[in-house]
């Protein structure tokens, strides 16, 4: 039995209520941290009945507004504010809930940078960029949260291209420009509560750039200055680029997207190994062909 099949079996045996739904791109999100149990941070938050309601968020200063072609995104299968009634929107609602708990519940306050989330995969084409954008769209519908989506996959720039924002400077230019103001690279979109930072130009010293003091300052500022927001980083595949491990070492949560019935078990195992035990890792099973009557639910994953 593969590592993913074992995870799914644990989901089916979990006493957490499952939610029926139609077939969609995401079928088995997991709660985390990896080492957590029912008595862990998430379980404690639920049992304590803690409120996730924050104080009113401070305005996020941005340089300019951009208009995303929402109809074009819908045709590509992405969620938009107009498609939040679809079954797959409910799947993302279930995925984001433990992320919000991990980031904002009182039981999770000891986790550094818990509001910073890296979305990655073992190898290319498993659906991490698709997951990143849909997750951001779902979080943007929250009544008292905002989300910043950052394209850090400078090699493929899938998000920047899908949003048709390649002409805008991005994170690499910000890091390379002395005295640059972060607000000049933040784009306000026509989706309420959603801002975006493009990838920027390709830089072959990206691992060194991510490991720079300015990058650390950037991450710390996002975590401390905007603690009421989730920041989602779409990163390169973890086994393909060393730069990804630099980024995952600075965030509080990692989502590892796994392509159903295709990604080999040893790739998932190796990805979890290199990510290490000091980071919260959640698994998302993507591109599943389960029956439309299948049940979906949460469960804990442990290595």
Identify whether 132 is part of a domain.
yes
- Report the range of poorest mean pLDDT among 64-73, 122-131, 280-289: 280-289
Pairing of strands 19-20, 295-296: antiparallel
Q: Does the residue 41 lie in any domain?
A: yes
Is 87 within the bounds of a domain?
yes
Q: Domain of 163: which CATH number?
A: 3.40.50.300
Structural domains of the chain, count = 1
Q: Is residue 255 part of a domain?
A: yes
What integer best gives the mean pLDDT of the chain? 79
Pairwise pLDDT comparison (193 vs 14), residue with the higher score: 193
Is 236 domain-assigned? yes
Look at residue 186 and tell me if it is in a domain. yes
pLDDT at 248: 94
Q: How far is CA 148 from CA 3, 26, 68, 128, 153, in A?
A: 32, 22, 15, 16, 15
pLDDT bin (cut points 50, 70, 90) of residue 61 is low
Which residues contact residue 38 at a Cβ distance below 8 angstroms, ignoring those fewer than 6 apart? 300
> For residue range 161-192, what is the model confidence (pLDDT) as tens digits?
999 999 999 999 999 999 998 889 999 999 99
The band of 72, judged by pLDDT with boundaries at 50, 70 and 90, is very high
- Residue 12, domain extent: 3-50+61-296
Q: Is the pLDDT of residue 8 over 60?
A: no
Contact in structure between 142 and 149 (CB atoms under 8 Å): no
For helices 3-13 and 265-275, the axis angle rounded to 10 degrees is: 80
- Indicate whether 55 belongs to any domain: no
Concatenated DSSP letters of the chain: --HHHHHHHHHHH-SSPPEE----SB----BS-TT--TTSHHHHHHHHT-----PPPPP---SEEE---HHHHHHTT---GGGTTSHHHHHHHHHHHHHHHHHHSGGGTTSTTTTEEEEEESSTTSSHHHHHHHHHHHHHT-SS-EEEEEE--TTT-HHHHHTT-TTS--HHHHHHSTT--GGGG-EEESSTTEEEE---S--TTHHHHHTSHHHHHHHHHHHHH-TTEEEEEE---TTT-THHHHHHTT-SEEEEEEETTTS-HHHHHHHHHHH-SSSEEEEEEES----TT-EE---B---
Domain assignment present for 143: yes
């Amino acid at each position: 039995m593969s590592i993913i099949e074992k995870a799914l079996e644990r989901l089916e045996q979990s006493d957490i209520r499952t939610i029926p739904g139609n077939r969609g791109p995401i079928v088995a999100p997991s709660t985390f941290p990896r080492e957590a149990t029912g008595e862990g941070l998430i379980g404690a938050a639920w049992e304590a009945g803690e409120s996730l309601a924050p104080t009113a968020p401070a305005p996020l200063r941005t340089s300019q507004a951009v208009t995303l072609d929402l109809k074009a995104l819908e045709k590509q299968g992405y969620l938009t504010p107009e498609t939040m009634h679809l079954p797959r929107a409910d799947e993302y609602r279930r995925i984001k809930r433990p992320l919000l708990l991990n980031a904002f519940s009182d039981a999770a306050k000891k986790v550094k940078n818990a509001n910073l989330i890296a979305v990655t995969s073992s190898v290319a084409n498993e659906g991490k960029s698709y997951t990143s954008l849909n997750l951001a769209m779902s979080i943007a519908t929250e009544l008292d949260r905002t989300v910043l989506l950052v394209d850090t996959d400078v090699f493929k720039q899938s998000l920047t291209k899908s949003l048709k924002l390649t002409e805008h400077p991005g994170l690499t230019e910000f890091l390379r420009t002395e005295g640059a103001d972060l607000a000049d690279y933040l784009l306000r979109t026509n989706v309420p509560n959603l801002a975006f930072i493009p990838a920027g130009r390709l830089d072959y010293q990206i691992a060194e750039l991510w490991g720079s003091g300015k990058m650390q300052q950037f991450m710390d500022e996002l975590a401390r200055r905007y603690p009421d927001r989730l920041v989602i980083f779409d990163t390169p595949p973890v086994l393909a680029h060393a730069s990804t491990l630099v980024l995952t070492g600075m965030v509080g949560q990692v989502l590892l997207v796994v392509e159903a019935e295709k990604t080999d078990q040893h790739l998932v195992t190796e990805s979890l190994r290199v990510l290490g035990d000091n980071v919260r890792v959640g698994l998302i099973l993507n591109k599943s062909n389960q029956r439309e009557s299948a049940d979906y639910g949460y469960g804990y994953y442990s290595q």
